[in-house]
Structure 1
Amino acid sequence: MSVRLLAVDLDGTLVRGDRTVSDRTRAALTGCDDAGIRVVVVTARRWLAAAPVLRNLGLQGMAIVAGGGAVRDIASGRVTMSGVLRGDALAGAVDAILASGLQPMVAVDHGEHYLAGHPRHDSSATARQFARGRVTRTTVDAMRRAVAARVLAMGPASRIAAAARRCVGLPCHLIIQDCIHRVGGGGERVLELHAAAENKGTSLRRLCRQLRVPMGAVAAVGDAPSDLPMLEAVGTAVLMGQAEAGLRRRGMAIAPAVDADGAAWAIERLVLCAAAPQAA
């Protein structure tokens, strides 16, 4: 089945380590547009952080942001789909994170704004994340009763693991991955936990149903554990070369790393079917 829609992660896939997008990758995205293939960026970034990059790339149509928490129209920023955690899932995740000695980061306003408790619970990674976005300090009860897309926690691996164990059985999607802020681990790996109403895979499925694009006609490219639900849902799955080996699944194509234009390689070879160098 030919590819009709490309779902592609942003950081670590389109965006390189120096926060730029290569000319080759830009040309590959333009090639998709010329070929009538929809491009949907699927990113953990909040809309306010993702929008400037999407518009700079000249992308149109829809983007899935906040890790699947919302689908937005790129031109207007309007939310066309969103997910909300069930009350028992939200309260349970907040309690589990607090019981593990971490700060709950309750994502409201479609993932654009955090609610959090007293700063004494902040890890170094959490504090750095709050410095990049909007946060309102509030009570535990207010966090437990919020209308939220997801709850996050950032901190040392042992505490994240404890919080995840306490979240097992809650009606939500759980993801653990390396933290974007690798500080304050006290010698441990720094991780982040997401307890979410939607993930990248479920939101992509919903969008494709709306667009009447079968999942077998979708190609997806990503590099992180949060991309796995998306990669497992599509007809053509491509994992970036720098991704952890544990993310590899049977049938996935392995692209070169992001700094070696892996996304462009994947688009040229597997989406546009253009001649491209073989992966190393």
Structure 2
Amino acid sequence: MTAGVGAVTLPGRGGRACRSGFVVGRRAFRRDSAGASLAAEATAAARRIPERAHAFAGLVLGETNMVDGSQEEETATHDDGATRRKHLWEILGVAAAVAGVVIGLIQVWPKPAFTLQDWAKEANAVCAETSGDSEDAARAANDALSMTLSSLQQGTATPQQFFITGNLYYRMAGLQNKAAGNLSNIHPPSSRADETEAVVRDMRESDRMIYQGAELLRHVNTQYPQETVNAFSQLANTYNEKGRSINRRLVDLGARDCLPNVQAP
């Protein structure tokens, strides 16, 4: 029997059968080898699966951590902004409460008393505003009255002269009426308020006397002009007496005199 590597020859049919079986076996061996190779590859692949799974898990976890970190940063930023806004609203609330308290205290806090000195200061301002014009008007009216009376003595007086003189006293009365109105607008003082109110009332009464005298002159009795002059003289004397009293009381109250004199014929 001659034998070679990979070949065995047996006589007869049995030999062929043995050869055929060897060939089948070799094929089977090849198949087994291929299967073993596949199995080895499969085993290696299977062994790599946990590693890849671990790596993938690490990647996923890393990304998750990154996302969580980003979310944490966003959450922290959001929380920080919300905290600042909360503190701001708290500060505004406290400020509003304090402002409300202050306003309430201002409303209920008693105002300082308006003293007689305060009244006198404002009364002086009122009189100073009109005194110059009142004195000028009184001077012009008195001068016109002197000229009219002189013309009357000479027999040359005209109704026009009386009318012009009456208009000048009208102007004087208007300025005094303005002063009385401004004095009445001053808040009464905490003391002697009745005296300040009485002075204002008397000023208005004396003002009406001037208006009456002006009307007498404007509507002079041309037939008996001396009667008009006499009536005016009585009003002028009464006015001057009352005016002097008013000025003394104003000075006593701490103010200045406000009323000029009217010339009595």
TM-score by length of 1: 0.21
TM-score by length of 2: 0.21
More helix by share: 2
